[in-house]
Amino acid sequence: MTLETLRDESLDLQGETVALRRSLHERPELGNELPITRDLLLESLEGLPLDLTLHQTTSGVSALLTGGKPGPTVLLRGDMDALPLNEDTGLDFSSRTDGCMHACGHDTHTSMLSTAAKVLSAHRDEIPGRVLFMFQPGEEGHHGAKFMLEEGLLDVPALADGTDSPVTGAFALHITSTLATGMVATRGGACMASADRFLIRVHGAGGHASEPFRTVDPVPIACEIVLALQTMITRRIDVFDPAVVTVGRIHAGTTNNIISPLAEIEGTIRTVSETTRAQVHDNLKRVAQSIAEAHGATAEPEIIFGYPVTSNDDQFAEFTLDTAKQVLGADNVRRFPNPIMGAEDFSYVLNEVPGTMMFLGGTPPERDARTAPANHSNLVTFDETAMPVGVELYAQMALRHLGVTA
């Protein structure tokens, strides 16, 4: 088995990779229950020497390939769920489901990982250890990885001779339309942010809009809280361990001449360390409650926890970058200078196992990576010629982690 062998096999299977990707793209599903997606995936894996586990709390699928020699286990992740928006790409295989679209490329992830399972299965006897393929639902805010972990994803059984085969590394790819096709990028340490939602209910006393002195108007109090939260970030948070607090919604009242007793502020918190994350939570509550109290109102802040920081293991990240250079050449490999403020629930896996999240370029040939519609856009498209690169990276990461140099 050589580097060229894996490359050729990835290219030879491109027709199957594209066919699965387009079938998934036409039939997108949301959240943790993806019955159509799971059926299409299982059909693509049929006949492979995999021990399949169909998860019960979600539509997750874990598939275990046991090599011909004893060794540890490496985990490869591909997410499967779509986003709640209407597709306007005009593709021949556009979504058939109103209000649902694969706008983040998860259809490509699932297809690439399925093909990687085929490539690695063909070399099963040469593999010293195991490969655990994690096909995950619910990445788009539904904590699918967390549910799969709670259901025992990492509890890999011992080998037939009783030898343990623990999961010692994890790898995930994420395609992006804003990185040139054939390029990959990642970094050690914090790679993506945590993402929490907050809701602040400001309780005042309602009344007639012509007599505000007889009320406690929550609207100007809410406005003051919004501004104070931005000052809080610039004056209470270390600039070298940053945070973003964005208010995305303010709601109060029913008409123009009534002072509402309630105003609501809703937004998101992004951080790249758990220390700053906790600090922002505490400060947000204190600021909101203190400002409300100063005006004779009360504030009820609520933090809805989302994904933790996606933190790549430093050594594993270097290993990943080196592997990518072997596959693509150094000119096609980038090290991100800073974290991305988006979030990922692969973070749950990386909290348990050393590993890396890597980004794969997939800008369509007719587009410029600097201006192409980005992931989560109703216009986003991806270059399918990037997918054999992803297949090869999945396979190479698994083999090299297990000690096979192709």
Give the Cα separation of 226 and 250 in Å (integer). Answer: 9
The answer to whether residues 309 and 195 touch, using CB atoms and an 8 Å cutoff, is: no
Residue 64, burial from CB neighbour count under 10 angstroms (0-12, 13-18, 19+):
middle
Look at residue 106 and give its three-state secondary structure. Answer: helix
3-state secondary structure 281-349: HHHHHHHHHHHHHHCCCEEEEEEEEEECCEEECHHHHHHHHHHHHHHHCHHHEEECCCCECCCCCHHHH
SS3 assignment, position 115? helix
The CA-CA-CA angle for residues 381, 17, 23, to 5°, reads 65
Single-letter code of the amino acid located at 334: R
Q: Which of 33, 300, 318, 384 is an active site residue?
A: 384
Q: Is 348 a catalytic residue?
A: no
Q: What values do phi and psi take at 52, rounded to 5?
A: -95, 140
The residues with which 186 forms a beta bridge, in sequence order, are: 335
Q: For residue 236, what are the contacts with CB-CB under 8 A and spacing of at least 6?
A: 279, 283
Task: Choose the catalytic residue: 307, 344, 392, 394.
Answer: 307
Q: Which residues pair with 360 in a beta bridge?
A: 175, 184
Dihedral sign for Cα 7, 110, 179, 181, please: positive
Could you confirm whether 344 is annotated as catalytic? no
Closest CA to 237 of 269, 189, 265, 201: 269
Q: Are strands 207-208 and 258-259 parallel, antiparallel or unpaired?
A: antiparallel
Q: What single string gives the DSSP state of each residue in 15-61?
A: HHHHHHHHHHHHS---TT--HHHHHHHHHHHTTSSEEEEE-SSSS-E
For the annotated catalytic residues, the residue numbers are: 307, 384
